[in-house]
Amino acid sequence: MLTKINHIGIAVNSLDEAIPFYRDNLGMAFRGMEEVVEQQVKVAFLEVGESKIELLEPTSAESPVAKFLEKNGPGVHHIAYQVEDLEAAIAKLESEGARMIDKVPRLGAHGARIAFIHPKSSNGVLTELCQAGH
């Protein structure tokens, strides 16, 4: 079902403050920024090998990422695994009793289709499944 770790999402208060550490200090390749309006975040992607780090800055106090930062402070927000067939992955997980936040795929950054698994079903880790955009 899973093909690789696609990215690790890290909640930050400011992309401008966080990007230099990953790009300059760690030497990751900066792959751009975009706003995901539906999720009320601006994201920056940095690449290391075949995986990415996704920095998440909330654009609204109502954003799920803003609420995460308020409760936990900056840090790892989620881990995203790539799948070939997102609908099949959701159906398999639901049939096995997993609690899905997204029962239907939605649009994420870079045109990817995404669905989140509730942390109560994944040992406390917010887990994202993503299928690359076409």
pLDDT tens for 124-134 read 999 999 998 75
Domain boundaries, the chain: 2-131
Taking only the tens place, the pLDDT of each residue in 8-64 is: 999 999 999 999 999 999 999 999 999 999 889 999 999 999 899 999 999 999 999
Going by C-alpha positions, the residue among 113, 117, 82 that lies closest to residue 4 is 82
Average pLDDT of the chain, as a whole number: 95
Distance between CA 134 and CA 116 in Å, rounded?
20
Q: Which two tokens stand for residue 55?
A: 């920095």
Q: How many CB atoms lie within 10 A of CB 14?
A: 11
Sign of the C-alpha dihedral computed for residues 28, 30, 31 and 35 taken in this order = positive
CATH (one of 3.40.50.1820, 3.10.180.10, 3.40.50.1000, 3.30.2320.80) for 2-131: 3.10.180.10
